[in-house]
Chain A
Amino acid sequence: MTNDVILVDYGVGNLLSVARALEACGANVVLTDNRSKIAAADRIVLPGVGAIGDCLNELRRRDLIEPVLEFAHSGRPMLGICVGMQVLLEVGEEFGEHTAFGLIKGRVKAIPATTSQGERHKIPHIGWTSIAPPQSRESWKGTVLEKIEPGSTCYFVHSYTAVCDDPDNLLAVSDYNGRQVTAAVQTGRVFGVQFHPEKSGKTGLQIISTFLEMS
């Protein structure tokens, strides 16, 4: 296993930030939208910012959904970041309904516009929020989060959150003014994080390093 990582390049904005963080963790980053390179990768990272529908359209336009799905089914490690995590679910509800990958059962829904006390709060949820395992999960052993202390903070910026049907897919949760948001999801060796590990300081770099060590 090498330190090679394929960073799927489909024209989204945070690509270079992700590349820089991967490189800082010792990865040899290959930016590509080439289907056969993706199919042959040791591991891939799927970035994404903006609206889910736009991201899916860009992936579709480049004919990348099929090779990424094939990769996900291969059992090799994959990490989706922000909207790159949201596309793992079945449907996104941002600006209409968008059919996504369906690797994880559930939908990507708007964060409630009010706090749990019923007061209006700021959307997007922007900032450093602590992440913890959900009640359905005992620990993060064997996952990209295994070297992170529960309660560590990560940098989030999002208005929509994944709602998983199967609690087994829920890897980490966060609290935004009393509303639970999904911080990370997992199915097999496919991981997705809503926050930005490339912008979450040393905690984020640790998560990326753990991902790079997976073989």
Chain B
Amino acid sequence: MANVRLIARLDIKAPNLIKGVHLEGLRKLGDPQKFAQSYYEAGVDEIIYMDIVASLYNRSSLHEIVRRTAEQVFIPITVGGGIRSLSDVEQMLRSGADKVAINTGAVRSPQLINDVARRFGSQCMVLSVEAKRRPSGEGWEAFTDNGREHTGLDVIDWVRKGIDLGVGEVMLTSVDREGTRRGFDVELTRAVSEIASVPVIASGGMGSVEHLVEVVHDGRADAVAMADVLHYNRMPFAEIRNAAVAAGIPTRLR
């Protein structure tokens, strides 16, 4: 089994790292670059920055955060939020991102996925999917705008289509679990991972190492994104990695 990637996800409302519950109700935690730097030193595998406001007004501030981070953090950096065009992607890559995560822009114009993959390579095209279980309990619907706007798209169909168009990775956020610390939506992760030929990053809900183990073993996640468990220092990263390894999850050790 290949090493599972342990990823620090930092939601940003420039210039601050913030943390919310169900992607709403925000708390400011400080300079994202400082957090990213400390996670890099601690051995995190990748950094994901998500601009949760994604307003034009804050764009230059976000670029500045990415630029400062990329000067000192030599692991992959993914940036998402408000990316709608090839020129947005290009500017983000120029600032120091290695990959972009796109949700709304891809829902509005699926062709954007294909354009990004062809121009910059599918390795940099991450499809960001915000999934909410349907009220009936049957399946999941894809949302945009931090889980507020319906798309009418079935998550499984949408991921399939995204992969056909050239997505290199899927970042799957459970809106129901985000910020709850009640664990990942394992069923969702498994349903998506089973139909996805590309790696799937599980996001939303990690409160303990048991949750991580569960979403890898039962949910078949290829990578796991964690946020407030790190940001509030509930557990040092090295401890999380060691506990994961002890539970039989292969990760990089050096």
Contact = CB atoms under 8 A, between A and B. Distances in A.
Q: Do A and B bind each other?
A: yes
B254 A153 contact: yes
A123 B168 CA distance: 8
Interface string B63-77: 000000011101110
Contact of A124 (B93, B96, B168): B168
Contacts of A139: none
A50 B72 CA distance: 25
A177 B120 CA distance: 27
A13 B40 contact: no
A86 to B, nearest CB: 13
B123 A155 contact: no
Given A13-B93, A20-B70, A128-B5, A153 B98 contact: no
Nearest to B169: A126
B74 A127 contact: no
Among B72, B74, B199, which residue has the most Cβ atoms of chain A within 10 A? B74
Interface residues of A, number: 39
A98 interface: no
A13 B96 contact: no
Interface in B32-47: 40, 43, 45
Interface in A45-60: 49-51
Contacts of A120: 197
Contacts of A129: 2-3, 252
A24 interface: yes
B5 A149 contact: no
B96 A17 contact: yes
A128 B93 contact: no
B75 A155 contact: yes
Nearest to A157: B123
A210 to B, nearest CB: 15
Contacts of A123: 197-198
B98 A122 contact: no
Interface stretch (A33-41, A64-72, A184-192, A199-207): A199-207
Given A17-B98, A125-B2, A151-B254, A199 B121 contact: no
A21 interface: yes
B253 interface: yes
Nearest to A129: B3
Contacts of A205: 74
Interface in A139-197: 149, 151-153, 155, 157-158, 176-177, 196
Contacts of A14: 98
Interface residues of B, number: 35
Contact of A199 (B76, B93, B122, B196): B76
Nearest to B89: A13
A50 B121 contact: yes
A34 B220 CA distance: 48
Nearest to A82: B123
B192 interface: no
A176 B197 contact: no
Contacts of B10: none
A144 B2 CA distance: 25
A14 B3 CA distance: 24
Contact of A127 (B168, B197, B223): B223
B120 A13 contact: yes
Given A199-B76, A201-B75, A127 B3 contact: yes
Contact of A20 (B40, B71, B76, B168): B71
A126 B123 contact: yes
Contacts of B98: 14, 17, 199
Contact of B74 (A51, A125, A128, A199): A199
Interface in B1-43: 1-5, 40, 43
Q: Which 4 A-B pairs have the closest CB atoms?
A: A50-B121, A128-B252, A153-B252, A157-B123
Given A51-B121, A127-B223, A199-B75, 18 more contacts: A13-B120, A13-B124, A16-B70, A16-B93, A20-B96, A24-B74, A50-B123, A122-B2, A125-B2, A127-B222, A128-B3, A128-B252, A149-B254, A153-B3, A155-B75, A158-B123, A199-B74, A201-B43
9 contacts: A14-B98, A17-B70, A50-B121, A50-B123, A122-B196, A126-B223, A157-B76, A158-B123, A199-B98
